[in-house]
Amino acid sequence: MANNTPKIVIFSAPSGAGKTTIVRHLLKNFEQFGFSISACTRSKRPHEIDGKDYYFISLEEFQQKIKENAFVEWEEVYNGSFYGTLKTEVKRLLDLGKIVLFDVDVKGGIALKKYFDKDALSIFVAPPSLEVLENRLRNRKSDSEESIQKRLEKCKYEMTFSPQFDVILENNILDETLETVEKMLIKAPQPPKGE
């Protein structure tokens, strides 16, 4: 894989498995990657930047773009909150010569893999166990008990889709996971010519 890096790399995972940390690590340390900025209809969180984290658009605008067939894929990820990958966004990154990195939900990941087929590598980031995921969600201290239970149920459901991905990456110890990802995706240094 290292010498044959795909043009499209898709990371999907149940919430809390650590996919966003992995994607951020790659973007921070390797300039060959470009992040596919999704369009979404949920409201912007205080630390987020429009046009960097997401293209925050209205539901009307989102529906208009569905009609125009502007999305590679889109999902209602949470009740009433729509997320989607714009065709123009993928083109923008490919035109810049970037390897396109996706951070999308599990169904979105499967749809993107179908669309890009052999040009894409799809990676399912799995938590080592439901217990570990539960601890992670609790340690975030941002979720209510009800929301933790809902996320765990959703995780069980999403885990059933993992065999549809090219790679299942268990995120147990983060540093080791990052090393595995780098080995998979970063071109190994070429020997000097003539050797």
Give the footprint of ligand 5GP on this chain (CB under 6 A): 38, 42, 73, 75, 77, 83-85, 103-105, 108
For the bound state, the minimum distance from the C-beta of residue 152 to ligand 5GP, rounded and expressed in Å, comes to: 15
Q: In this structure, are strands 81-86 and 71-78 parallel, antiparallel, or unpaired?
A: antiparallel
Residue closer to ligand 5GP (CB basis): 82 or 177: 82
Question: For ligand 5GP, which residue has the nearest CB?
Answer: 108
Beta carbon nearer to ligand 5GP, 143 or 170: 143
Give the DSSP H/E element, type plus range, for residue 124. Answer: strand 120-126
Tokens of 131: 């217990």
* Cβ nearer to ligand 5GP, comparing 7 with 107: 107
Residue 142 or 190 having the CB closest to ligand 5GP: 142
CB of 194 to ligand 5GP, least distance (A): 46
Least CB distance to ligand 5GP at residue 155 (A): 11
Minimum distance of ligand 5GP from residue 72's CB (angstroms): 8
Burial of 144 (0-12, 13-18, 19+ CB in 10 A): exposed
Instruction: Determine the Cα–Cα distance for residues 41 and 55; give it in Å rounded to an integer.
Output: 9
Is 188 exposed, middle or buried, given 0-12, 13-18 or 19+ CB atoms closer than 10 A? Answer: exposed
Handedness of CA 131, 134, 136, 138 (dihedral sign): negative
- Distance of closest approach, residue 129 Cβ to ligand 5GP, in angstroms: 20
